[in-house]
Structure 1
């Protein structure tokens, strides 16, 4: 039973923050509040449509919040929610694993 719960919760985590772009978006937002255009500039390979979709999904899952300023031109800012700040721990673990993997791959290619 414990294994099933583990698998279900890992799957849920990946549903919320998984994919190609969500972790990158979250990394940027751990640095502080960003406007849409700033995020787009920091991730030039993401399309505007994909960025919009990923931000909406993160907002629906209460990981980020969107603040709209009623002004001309319109201004929208994105930031991590208090709950979303907890994702920093997970991103740190992912970064540590990526660092170990990079070292392993580098060592492996040097042996060949």
Structure 2
């Protein structure tokens, strides 16, 4: 397999400088929760509480911060319906966010392989 290389020594996107494209992508979806949020939004929009149920170990504060960062980066959209409580807020992937699906599928496949070889699957 051919190794892909960065086309220059540095890259600049949205005012930030990165040493390579991988560091750019990891800045956008890296960390413990961002890719997980994208994974659960991959098949359709969800309300905040639906995401919380899918990810019971994430704190509300962390989920809110990560959603806000993903929204600021144009990966996730936030849709508010209604003007008076109860308002309905849903989150979903933007067109840009949907471009991460292949990467998420590959990471999921790798994770399943690692669990099969070194761990176990646990049902709630």
Q: What is the TM-score normalised by the length of structure 2? A: 0.75
- Cα RMSD between the aligned structures? 2.0
SS in 2 for 1:77: strand
SS in 2 for 1:11: helix
Partner of 1:34: 46
Q: How much does 1:99 deviate?
A: 3.3
Closer, same or farther: CA 103–46 of 1 in aligned 2, 3 Å: closer
Runs of 5+ consecutive residues of structure 1 not aligned to the other structure: 107-112
Runs of 5+ consecutive residues of structure 2 not aligned to the other structure: 12-18, 120-124
Partner of 1:61: 73
Q: How much does 1:68 deviate?
A: 0.8
How many residues were matched structurally? 105
Partner of 2:89: 76
Q: Distance in 2 between matches of 1:100 and 1:35?
A: 30
Q: Distance in 1 between matches of 2:116 and 2:88?
A: 42
SS in 2 for 1:65: strand
Q: What is the TM-score normalised by the length of structure 1? A: 0.82
Q: How much does 1:98 deviate?
A: 2.3
Does residue 94 (structure 1) correspond to residue 71 (structure 2)? The answer is: no
Query: Does 1 or 2 have the higher relative contact order (CA < 8 Å, sep 6+)?
Result: 1
Q: Distance in 2 between matches of 1:97 and 1:61?
A: 26
Partner of 1:109: none
